[in-house]
Structure 1
Amino acid sequence: MTGYEGDTARPRRPLRADAQRNEDRLLEAAADAFARQGAGASVKDIARAAGVGVGTLYRRFPSKELLIEAIYRQEVQHLCEAAPDLTAVQPPAEALRTWMERFIDFMAAKQGMAEALAVVLTDDSEKLHTRTLLADAITHLLTAAEEQSVARPGVAAQDVLMALGGISLIAASEEQRALATRLIDLLLHGIVTS
């Protein structure tokens, strides 16, 4: 992993360009497979979808749990990095909405890996670290919206994160992605002033 600010993972040597491309393809194929099939997804099928041999997969990720952990870390990193990217190209309220929709998609994909993540993410400090990174991303979005006078002042990022977590649970149990969007609309109504 390239790591993100505050990452507690062990730093590792940079990969050669071809090895990095292989790892990126493996993580993408694995994330897709786990989202569709859950933790029972076949490692052989993941390697095939990534266009690499199963030996390459096992050299990078000696166990399925390590692969799932790497996907989780990468997805959190991408989600957090999206906040400043979105505020750079979208109006603040739209950036906030887009990020919230991405968060719901992230949580939906995580559902497919829930059983394996329960084994991998046993460290409470790791969970707290992830929540802090996500809250920091939300803070960035809220601050951009406040600076443009389109968000109510004093909205707590942790409150927004908890609301989004609840939305993702409700939508997942109802198996309705459209419901999540409607609930995001309600949440945004409480945040956005115009």
Structure 2
Amino acid sequence: MTDTAPTRPMRADARRNYQRLLDQARTAFAERGTDASLDEIARRAGVGIGTLYRHFPTRDALLEALLRERFTGLATLAEDLLTSATPRDALTAWLRAFITGASTYRGLTSTLMATLRDETSELHAACLAMRQAGERVLTRAQQDGQVRADVTALELFTLASGIAWANEQTTTSAEGTVDRLLTLVLSGLLLD
């Protein structure tokens, strides 16, 4: 039996708590990575840990709320690139945006890779539209004969996540690292 009861709107104080938790999580994840203490996030937001868990029952639920807008933006970008850029340029631009987003918080790439295969994760469902849109960009480039036909979308996301992870680990210019590694990966994917 499914729950068909309407969702009640949040009270004003609950909305404020929700937003404070998101703001503090964004700050904590930027400072300490995705393993930042949830207790610390709740304390900084001025609420108890129970309030955090009422809004976000798991760490992935909190990450999903933070990343939802970014996932939607990547899906929209993919759709725009399908009509406004050559297949090769569209794939390159989309991969660069994906890598930049995946590098937002230290540890995020590991979390994203785990959710690609875990269909029960809140993040898996949240980034489904983004992944499907990215797959359409890849398929278009493959159909145009610009990318190897044997590359799967999961392999592409794994490669892009690997670049984002490597970017997290380096102390050199992040943009230079991403550019160099993306160029190397694309040289193995693109057909002349």
Q: Please classify the TM superposition score into its range, dividing by the shorter chain length.
A: 0.5 to 0.7
- Which amino acid in structure 2 is aligned with residue 34 of structure 1? F
Partner of 1:130: 124
How many corresponding residue pairs? 172
Q: Which has the larger radius of gyration?
A: 2
CA contact (8 A) 1:96 1:141 kept: yes
**Structure 1: runs of 5+ lacking an equivalent:** 1-10, 48-53
Letter paired with 2:124 = T
Counterpart secondary structure, 2:178: helix
Q: TM-score, normalised by structure 2?
A: 0.60
Matched ranges for 1:34-113 at <5 A: 34-38=29-33, 39-40=36-37, 42-43=40-41, 46-47=44-45, 54-55=46-47, 59=51, 61-62=52-53, 66=57, 68-74=59-65, 77-90=68-81, 91=85, 92-111=87-106
Shift in CA distance, 125/44, structure 1 to aligned 2, threshold 3 Å = closer
Describe the shift of the 1:12–1:77 C-alpha distance in structure 2 as closer, same or farther (beyond 3 A): farther
Q: Which amino acid in structure 1 is aligned with residue 177 of structure 2?
A: L
Q: What amino acid is the match of 2:154?
A: Q
Match of 2:72, as an amino acid?
E
CA distance in 2, matches of 1:125, 1:168: 22
Counterpart in the other structure of 2:7? 13
1:173 aligns with 2:173: no
Percent sequence identity over aligned pairs: 22
Structure 1-normalised TM-score?
Answer: 0.60
Root-mean-square deviation (Å): 4.4
| 5+ long unaligned stretches in structure 2 | none
